[in-house]
Chain A
Amino acid sequence: MKVQLKLIASYRDFLPPENEGRVEIEISEGVTAVAILKDLGIQIEESVILVDGRSPNPDETLQDGSVVSAFQATAGG
């Protein structure tokens, strides 16, 4: 199945610049958002992770068409 990755702000740097933080990836059943982001080298404890704009449950597996986004957990505006 396919999921969309949206890496926000500084996390864009985990993908090539021309991606502008976006990529569509092919995954198998049972893959979690955390697993995908860890594979890219993202520090999970320092991140906010959203699946379809909401905080996922820890063991929540992704669906076809899910949008996974992640960004630094710092401050706002």
Chain B
Amino acid sequence: MNGWYGKVLRVNLTNQTYIIETVDSQFAKDYIGGRGWAIRYLMDGMDPKVDALSPENMLIFATGPLTGSPAPTGNRYMVVTKSPLTGVLSNSNSGGDFPTWMKRTGFDLFIFEGRAEEPVYLWINDDQVEIRPAGHIWGKQVPESTDIMLAETNPKAKVACIGPAGERLVKVAAIMNDKDRAAARSGVGAVMGSKNLKGVVVNGTHSIGMADLEGMKKLSLSMQREIGEASKTSNLRIYGTAYVPDVTNEMGIFPTRNYQSGRFEGADKINGPALNASFLIRPGACYRCPIACNRITKVDAPGYEGEGEGPEYESIGALGGACGVDNLAAITKANYLCNELGIDTISAGMTIACAMEMYEEGIIPESDIGQPLNFGDADSMITFVKKMGLREGFGDKLAEGSYAMAESYGHPEFSISAKKLEFPGYDPRGAKGMGLLYATSNVGASHMAGDLAYAEVFGTPKKIDPLTIEHKPELIARFEDAFTLIDSSGLCVFLAVRHVFDDDVMLWPTRLTELMNLTTGAGYSPESLLKAAERVYNLERMFLLEAGITREDDTLPPRMLEEPLREGPAAGHTVELDVMLPLFYKVRGWDENGVPTREKLHELDLA
């Protein structure tokens, strides 16, 4: 087989044993790789109803066929598991170096099952798999933990690990890799912690075969050059994703005070130019990436000292605007703390924002929190990021995520989330396609499940009206399938959306098909590749239905459905989900309860 190794490492942490399984080429092709393979393994290997923190949950690290290939940004991996935060699927994605090094071990996927009796870490070095004691690392933060594991194995290896947050089963805990990169969302770090698995260290000498090595090298090199050249003057290189607050604020969709507004008066102080003028040292890149959107930063401001990577737009939105905080030093420091403790910055910021609003409304008593917690209080935002990561005091409640926290006070409506996953930084009342996405995605409110903001906000491939609902069902279904493809292939979204789909808003994967065929030789057409993505998406939906999701869960908070924005270009707007959702089900070939029909499942070879 080319592109795929067709080899899966399955580790039983309870028995401290492992086996190597092979994968046949039809399976490989039908499920593409990465996220696609992972859902098939989940559906075949576990009961979707199990407790996500029980040994019965499966934790999968999944590379795609383009991970470790010559393709530019062929360097992503997925963490797929049942989420302890949402009770539905996790599809968390990360870059850095770890994914390419993982591919060098000679395995496409790692599956971690059961639970180790004592903390352990895994050292996977070509065909050598060791389960090593991690008791002496347990409790340590991500950077120090990473350094210890590298010193004990090979300084040239790469590490994915949890920090204290994952160890303490914080429901919004992340799995960090290369210290600063995060498979952040859905509490995947807590699943890893529940298995007493501190880290995974990878190194190796294997590489995937290429069906057409010369063709792949030629295409990859020309893409690398073209994108590298264009990136020199691109916002992502110059400012990182931090350029976005000015855009979303202008559109009136920037998360502000727990989504009470879409216009933040402090947006100017926490944007890309502000970051460049204050804390940016230089751009950074994931392995061989021509875009280089990472921010290598350092803060010297007293009380906020630190260094590392970020902040990204989503972190600025959640820890900044959503909390009413316009102090960039504080936001950057909070972002470093999230990386060190191993927490999702989006869920952390949005959970604190939820608590801020409920405190100001008099619903959460000050005695529960231990101090005031007002919007705009940067230092308190930082305090509660720390307490959340360590489950200290009121942080223990925040660690459950905004929905559980708000529900415990009898007011779940203050949690701005869908399927209990906190919103990313685009107010759907001013970007209605995103509203349909948040309500329908198989992981809950994630922009990465089908980021129509590319078109509604950023004009790529072209600008569409964010305030209309016509055609959004078809667009969201196609974007969801396209992003399923990206997540299954191993490419980064920042390259893929612009460069491997045709220049049309219905994202047709011509060049992606070419890259997949040059790599795997599997003979995909754009149609069959999209069909495979649709297969994966529908199988994920079946997982959700078996886990207990119903049509009632395909929804948004009352604020999005009933409270119009009061200022900005989207003033007066709510999300007309009641109109879009039935049309979406039809487009998907599902019945009126959001269940894939027999015909649809048959068409996709799922029944």
Residues of chain A whose beta carbon lies under 8 Å from any beta carbon of chain B: 6, 8-10, 12, 20-21, 47-48, 50, 52-55, 67, 69, 71-77
Contact = CB atoms under 8 A, between A and B. Distances in A.
B223 interface: no
Contacts of B457: 76
Contacts of B465: 55
Main secondary structure of the interface of B (DSSP, over half): helix
B572 interface: no
Contacts of A52: 569
A21 B250 CA distance: 13
Interface in B401-445: 425
A75 B236 contact: yes
B308 interface: no
A67 B453 CA distance: 22
B239 A9 contact: yes
A56 to B, nearest CB: 11
Interface in B432-477: 447, 451, 453-454, 457-460, 463, 465, 467
B293 to A, nearest CB: 8
A74 B453 contact: no
A53 B569 CA distance: 5
14 contacts: A6-B246, A9-B243, A9-B246, A10-B234, A20-B273, A53-B250, A54-B251, A55-B463, A71-B235, A71-B247, A73-B463, A75-B236, A76-B241, A76-B453
Given A48-B458, A48-B459, A76-B453, A9 B238 contact: yes
A76 to B, nearest CB: 5
Interface residues of B, number: 40
Contacts of B241: 76-77
Contacts of A73: 458-460, 463
B41 interface: no
Contact of B494 (A8, A9, A47, A75): A75
A6 B312 CA distance: 22
Given A9-B247, A72-B235, 15 more contacts: A6-B250, A8-B243, A9-B235, A9-B243, A9-B272, A55-B465, A71-B243, A73-B459, A74-B234, A74-B460, A75-B235, A75-B497, A75-B498, A76-B313, A76-B451
A8 B234 contact: no
Nearest 7 Cβ contacts at the A-B interface: A77-B241, A53-B569, A77-B313, A73-B459, A48-B459, A9-B243, A8-B246
B357 interface: no
B360 to A, nearest CB: 27
Contacts of B494: 75
Contacts of A74: 234-236, 458, 460, 498
B252 interface: yes
B458 A12 contact: no
B599 to A, nearest CB: 36
Contacts of A20: 273
